[in-house]
A and B are shown apart, each in its own frame.
Chain A
Amino acid sequence: MVSSNYYNKDEFDEMLAKSLKRHSEPVRTNFTNMVINHIEEERKRELLRKIVLQERFALGLSIALAIFLLSGIIFFGKEIAQVMLSSFNSLRDIPVKTLTSYSPDWQLIIAAIAAIGSVIFAFSDTLNLRQRVIRQLFR
């Protein structure tokens, strides 16, 4: 029969604590390197995910701007042509005259500049991002 002392809480607890503290789990060799590689892969995957998202955004922006410009040409073709023509004519004159001719249609001019600028940005961004992906993957 087990001694009743055995059921003394402290003794059993002490035995349990001692035995469990002696136990340790073997770990795989190279586990640290595997974790570091896993983190590196995850970082690359995250970077790629961001880049794909940015590229999609840039592509969407290009399409939206193309639609915007196309609808502008379809619905306001004459007005745009007039503005462009008058602008072209005025460009030949002195800069003051040019500025004067621009001023009544400044909203249209700003919209056109913004649209063209965005298209240029979208394309340059797309090209730069591709280079970044290549650099990151093959460094």
Chain B
Amino acid sequence: MADKDRIPKRGNWLGLLYQGDEDAFADFVDEYQGMVFLCCKTLGLNETEAHDVASETFLAAYQNISKFQAKSKLSTWLWKIAYHKAVDYIRKNNREQSLADEPDEQLADKKIAQVAAELENKEHSQIVWDAVRSLPGDWALAIMLFYRENKTITEISKIMKKRKGTVKTYLFRGRKRLKKLLEKYIESHWRQ
């Protein structure tokens, strides 16, 4: 959905944000908090961690809103802040290994079997979401941005500050892993 459709219908909303208007900023937080939480959760943060990172993200957005030049969508700009805040948090806690690395094949197969077993008896969207969350963070985020947020490869590469080729690799590998992960479920449920 276009940004202008998502923002509250208030006169010169972005202008008010630039001026540091607190009410406008509260509307902004209301509108985008779900998206920021989603970014944090996709990267593997738990509830408390996601809350802290989301709070830091909005603080950074408030402090830097004057630098936003509307060259990209407001949501893309916020995704970028949220992603980098979350990555900083993960790095500080020495968990960067899980972000982009190709997991060991045997371990990955074990994990697939484990996750596939856990997916039984869950709601469809929850099953797919859990499967996505089991991917390395960067792969999962690329999948989310591409399939859920309809971001282009160029936008994703800007958000994640990665080359387009890298983003395409994340998408390809992520999709391949998801297919394997969801194979059993799809076989028994989705096609019925």
Q: Taking each of A20, A32, A38, which has the highest tally of chain B beta carbons within 10 Å of its own beta carbon?
A: A20
**Are B29 and A35 in touch, CB under 8 angstroms?**
yes
CB within 8 Å for A23 and B59 given contacts A15-B190, A28-B51: no
In which size bucket is the chain A interface? 20 to 34
Whether B54 and A31, one on each chain, are in contact in the complex, defined by CB atoms closer than 8 angstroms, is yes
Contact of A38 among B59, B126, B127, B179 (CB under 8 A): B59
Q: Please classify how large the interface on chain B is, using the bins under 10, 10 to 19, 20 to 34, 35 or more.
A: 35 or more
Quick one: which of B22, B147, B187 contacts A13, CB cutoff 8 A? Answer: B147
Within 8 Å of chain B (Cβ to Cβ): is A100?
A: no
- The answer to whether residues A19 and B51 also contact, given A2-B186, A3-B191 and a CB cut-off of 8 A, is no
- Asked if residues B128 and A23 are in contact (CB atoms below 8 Å), the reply is yes
Please give, as numbers and ranges, the residues of chain B lying within 8 Å of A135 by CB-CB distance.
Answer: none
> Between A and B, how many residue pairs show CB distances below 8 Å?
85
| CB closest residue in chain B, given A37 | B55
- The B contact surface, by secondary structure, is helix
A79 contacts chain B at the CB level, 8 A cutoff:
no
Nearest CB on B from A32, distance (A):
4
Q: Which of B139-192 contact A (CB under 8 A)?
A: 143-144, 147-148, 175, 178-179, 183, 186-187, 190-191
**Nearest CB of chain B from residue A88's CB, rounded to whole Å:** 56
A39 within 8 A of B: yes
User: Are the CB atoms of B128 and A39 closer together than 8 Å?
Assistant: no
Contact A36 B26, beta carbon cutoff 8 Å: yes
Tell which of B38, B50, B59, B175 touches A42, judged by Cβ atoms closer than 8 Å: B59
Q: Which residues of chain B have C-beta atoms less than 8 A from A25's C-beta?
A: 34, 37-38, 41, 50
B53 CB–A CB distance under 8 Å: no
Could you tell me the distance between the alpha carbons of A15 and B191 in the complex, rounded to whole angstroms? 11
* In the bound complex, CA of A24 to CA of B54 (Å): 15
- Give B114 Cβ to nearest chain A Cβ, in Å: 20
Judge whether B147 and A31 touch: CB under 8 Å: no
Judge whether A21 and B58 touch: CB under 8 Å.
no
Which residues on B sit within 8 Å (CB–CB) of A28? 51
With a CB–CB cut-off of 8 A, which chain B residues contact A32? Answer: 26, 29-30, 33
Most buried by B among A1, A12, A21, A31: A31
Question: 3 smallest A-B Cβ distances: which pairs?
Answer: A19-B128, A20-B148, A22-B125
Which positions in B face A, CB cutoff 8 Å? 22, 25-26, 29-30, 33-34, 37-38, 41, 50-51, 54-55, 58-59, 62, 124-129, 132, 143-144, 147-148, 175, 178-179, 183, 186-187, 190-191
Which residues from chain A sit less than 8 Å from chain B, CB to CB? 1-3, 6-7, 12-13, 15-17, 19-28, 31-32, 34-36, 38-39, 42
